[in-house]
Copies of this chain bind each other. A is one copy, B any other.
Amino acid sequence: MHEKQALGAFAALSQETRLRIVRLLVTAGPEGMSAGAIGEAMDSASSSRMSFHLSHLEQAGLVESRREGRSIIYSAVLTALSGLVEFLMRDCCQGHPEVCHPAMAALSSCCEPTKGSIRG
């Protein structure tokens, strides 16, 4: 994850519709959702509007697509999200590990690591 990629990802995530799409696709898991289904889940989203935001997200590397019959299925690129977090934290931590510990505690409660515990 380089600065340009991070800037693109932050820009993609700074738009309400796109942030919601990403969250929706993350919860949808690896199977993903068709563009139409995503559009139906969003408020008053025209097909061109969805296409605009989905291609924006795809170019930012946050989602990927595959065709299934007439539909195009979008899914979240989970490694891009974790890479973004890694980039953010890498920059945060230079000499100040206290920044990371609250975030690690939050992750710990979210992800239930299989071994070990985190103390701030």
Interface residues of A (CB under 8 A from B): 3, 6-7, 10-11, 13-16, 19, 22-23, 26-27, 29, 78-79, 81-86, 88-104, 106-108, 110-119
Contact between A90 and B104 (Cβ–Cβ < 8 Å)? no
Contact between B107 and A111 (Cβ–Cβ < 8 Å)? no
Contact between A110 and B81 (Cβ–Cβ < 8 Å)? no
Contact between A10 and B7 (Cβ–Cβ < 8 Å)? no
Residues of B within 8 A of A100 (CB): 82, 107, 110-111
Pick from B7, B22, B26, B92: contact of A78, CB under 8 Å = B92
| A2 CA / B37 CA spacing, docked (Å) | 25
Residues of B within 8 A of A104 (CB): 104, 107-108, 111, 113
Residues of B within 8 A of A82 (CB): 92, 99-100, 102-103, 106
| A21: min CB distance to chain B, Å | 12
| A111: min CB distance to chain B, Å | 4
Residues of B within 8 A of A97 (CB): 110-112
6 nearest CB pairs, A to B: A100-B111, A11-B14, A10-B14, A116-B116, A86-B106, A82-B103
